[in-house]
Every structure is written in C-alpha cells, then in structure tokens.
Amino acid sequence: MTARPASTAPPAPGATDLGVPAVRPSDQTAPMPLQMAPKRRGKPPKHFADLTSAERVASVEAMGEKPFRAKQLATHYFQHYTSDPEQMTDLPKATREALATTMFPPLIRPTRRLEADGGTTVKTLWHLFDDAKVESVLMRYPNRTTLCVSSQAGCGMACPFCATGQLGLTRNLTTAEILEQVRAAFRSLASGEIPGGPARLNNLVFMGMGEPLANPRAVIETVKTLVAPEPEGFGMSARNITVSTVGLVPAMLKLADLGIPVTLALSLHAPDDDLRSELVPINTRWSVDEALDAARHYFEVTGRRVSIEYALIKDMNDHGWRADLLGEKLNARGRGWVHVNPIPLNPTPGSIWTASDRAVEDEFVARLRGHGIPTTIRDTRGSDIDGACGQLAAEEDDE
C-alpha cells in the first residue's frame, strides 16, 4: 500500500521512518533490511472480535451477564456492523454501556478518506491506538464489492518497488484491528454511503499494507471469523478471500493445512532468482522454485487455483524471455492450477521505475497465453488516489 513518502532522506539502517523513495537498491542506498518480526510495542486492548465464540461467552459471564448476551453482541457487531451501545436497544441500558465499553474498545480511527471513481473507490487512512497508521481500500464494481485490508503497519519485506516496503515494519495488527477495517466496509456498504445503493461486501484481499503470512496468527484468526456464519462472524465465502504473499514457504504450507480454501496469491514478479532476489528480497531465503512448489502444493491440497502476481516494470522484468520462462516453470508443475495477473507498475513517488509500455505488456500477456496460462491484466483502480492497497486495486475475479 501506498503511504506517500514525505521526505527524500535516505533511511537510517533499520529505520521505519516514512518517506523513502523506491530506488533500485544497487543505485544508491544499501538495500532495506528484511524484518521478519516487529519490534516490541504495547499491545492494543483486547476486543470482542479477538475472541472465539467460547471466549465471548466466558467474557460476558465474567462481567456477571447471562451467556446469551454474547450472541446479542455478536449480532450487533457482525450483522448490524455496530459497536455503539445506543443502538443495542435489545439490551438493558446500564448493561449495554458496561458491555460495550469493555468489549468494544475503539481500535481504529479514520483520519483521512480519499475517493475516486465517482465515490465507488474509497481509501481510508486509519490511526491505531498507538498512532501507527494503516490503509484500507473499498472498491465497488457493478456486480461485486472488494475490500483491500492491511495486516501490518508497514512491512518488513523491503520490496524496492513497493511504497510500503520502503517504510519498514512498525508492527503486526491484531485480529480485531484487521476485522475493524472489515466491519467499517460492511457498514458503509450497508448504509448506502457508497453510490449504487445498499450492498454487502463480497470480496476481501490481504493486499494492503504488510505481509499477511508474516503475521499468520492474526491473519488466520481473521479468516476464521470472516467465514464464520452470522452472527458468529461475517459469513463471507472463503473462495472470495485472497491472501497475497511474497512467498513465505513454511507459512504457505501451513495455510494449505488450515482447511479453509481461501485463494492464495503469490507475488512473483520475476521467474529467475537473480532478478527476483532484487525485487522481492525474501527470495534469497525461499527461491522461485521453492515458492512455486509451495503454490502448487496449495492448489493440490485446497483445489483453489493460485494467482501469480507480476508487476510489469519497464525494462526490468517485462522481457519476452521472462514471460516464456514463467510459462515453462508454471507448466512444469501441471496445467490448470494457476493463472497470472500482470499488474502495470504503479510508480512510487521518486522511483526511477515506470510501468511497461502497452505493447510490451500485450506481448508479455500473449506469450503467457501462448503457453496456455490463463492471464488477465489487473485493473488498477484507485491509482489516482495514490494507488490503492499495495498500489493495487481490484482482485481480478478469476471465476
């Protein structure tokens, strides 16, 4: 995602300051360090959405309330999208104040709202309890709605073409901090705030700030609650949830075993280790072949077709031979298990990199299709509001 750099000063080693333009690491500065774990910071307060169903019941009982109050609260939160005690008129007044204050501490606060596409694309900047900042983007299409959420404040993966990659990692989000982004989206769609009449949220992509599989515990708990039937959760369909990763292989294998067939997207960006190690530094830990094997394994276990993301960067990774090599590597692992989403690069401010020319993009797509690989250029909605999430916009529906 795209917190816009605020200064052009080079980063102090390990700094998480905002504001470093993306440059080719070899051009001037030392590459950003990889950060697998965040620095320790205070924890956000526990929230109803952090809890399992059994824990919700235990929590209301611990407050001296009847267990059925947990279901009432869940209905307000997951079906009416509210945590406001004033609206919980089926609870006694004194009770609802106490319950709401304890169970629904404020976790995220909108501080900026940017609109594009006639109000059907909305990016929100959120401040967290410790003033860490994240973004989410809601996109409404004629027949579907998609929310792009952040799973970390900043990101430790240091991809040089990605604005968030230049921020460094501030911290992991909790389950409830992610789910609060989702509740806000359901709420603004249900209330008719987005042009087109009241609607439900259909799709969710973990393509905002952060590397979701570097925060697996919170992301997996979030997914469980997203798919739990109402009122235990939001009742979303697993296939409409996409977890996008740089290729953290062990976490990809764990995700396959979760038994919730979300869609997996692998940010590949190059089919050869030399270039990929520069574009996606974690490649020095898990190579192209290892990441592709893990993606193929994900398909075998879940039956879900995997997406390969490929930001097309002019004269960097957009060569015909790279399209051919990608096609060969994918076909070597079978047919029908994968599709490719080339994404025109959304240049980050100050970056020396730009999107590929249209003709080059077309040739790249044509070569992949020539190998029999389903390939769709990703829509770049929201690029005029400083990109969307991860400077991406929509999850292209592959169904």
Q: Which residues are annotated as a binding site?
A: 155, 159, 162, 210-211, 244, 267-269, 346
In contact, 145 and 200? CB cutoff 8 Å? yes
d(CA 232, CA 226): 9
Pick from 57, 60, 70, 162 the residue near ligand SAH by CB under 6 A: 162
Q: What is the DSSP string of 191-251?
A: TT-STTSS----EEEE-SSS-GGGSHHHHHHHHHHHHSPTTTS----GGGEEEEES--HHH
Quote the least distance from Cβ 267 to ligand SAH, whole Å: 3
In contact, 393 and 344? CB cutoff 8 Å? no
Q: Which stretch binds ligand SAH (CB under 6 A): 57-65, 222-230, 232-240, 340-348?
A: 340-348
Pick from 72, 174, 263, 391 the residue near ligand SAH by CB under 6 A: 391
Quote the least distance from Cβ 217 to ligand SAH, whole Å: 16
Interactions with ligand SAH, residue window 182-221 (CB under 6 A) = 207, 211
Indicate whether 246 belongs to the interface with ligand SAH (CB under 6 A): yes
Decide whether 138 or 207 has the Cβ nearer to ligand SAH.
207
Retrieve residue 70's tokens.
Answer: 């947990």
d(CA 60, CA 234): 20
Q: Which stretch binds ligand SAH (CB under 6 A): 8-16, 78-86, 89-97, 389-397?
A: 389-397
Q: Could you list the residues known to form a binding site for [4Fe-4S] cluster, using ranges.
A: 155, 159, 162
Quote the least distance from Cβ 79 to ligand SAH, whole Å: 29
Quote the least distance from Cβ 345 to ligand SAH, whole Å: 5
1-305-144 Cα angle (round to 5): 55
Closest C-alpha to 204, from 258, 128, 138: 138
Quote the least distance from Cβ 65 to ligand SAH, whole Å: 40
By CB under 6 A, the count of residues binding ligand SAH is: 19
Interactions with ligand SAH, residue window 347-386 (CB under 6 A) = 348
Indicate whether 72 belongs to the interface with ligand SAH (CB under 6 A): no
Indicate whether 245 belongs to the interface with ligand SAH (CB under 6 A): yes
> What stretches of the chain show up as alpha helix (H) in DSSP?
53-62, 68-74, 93-103, 175-190, 216-227, 249-256, 273-279, 288-302, 320-331, 358-370
Indicate whether 161 belongs to the interface with ligand SAH (CB under 6 A): yes
CA 225 to each of CA 107, 137, 180, 212, 232: distance values in angstroms, whole numbers, following the listed order: 17, 20, 12, 16, 7
Retrieve residue 62's tokens.
Answer: 């611990």
Indicate whether 390 belongs to the interface with ligand SAH (CB under 6 A): yes
Q: Which are the catalytic amino acids?
A: 135, 389
Chain residues that interact with ligand SAH, rule: CB under 6 A: 157, 159, 161-162, 207, 211, 244-246, 267, 309, 311, 343, 345-346, 348, 390-392
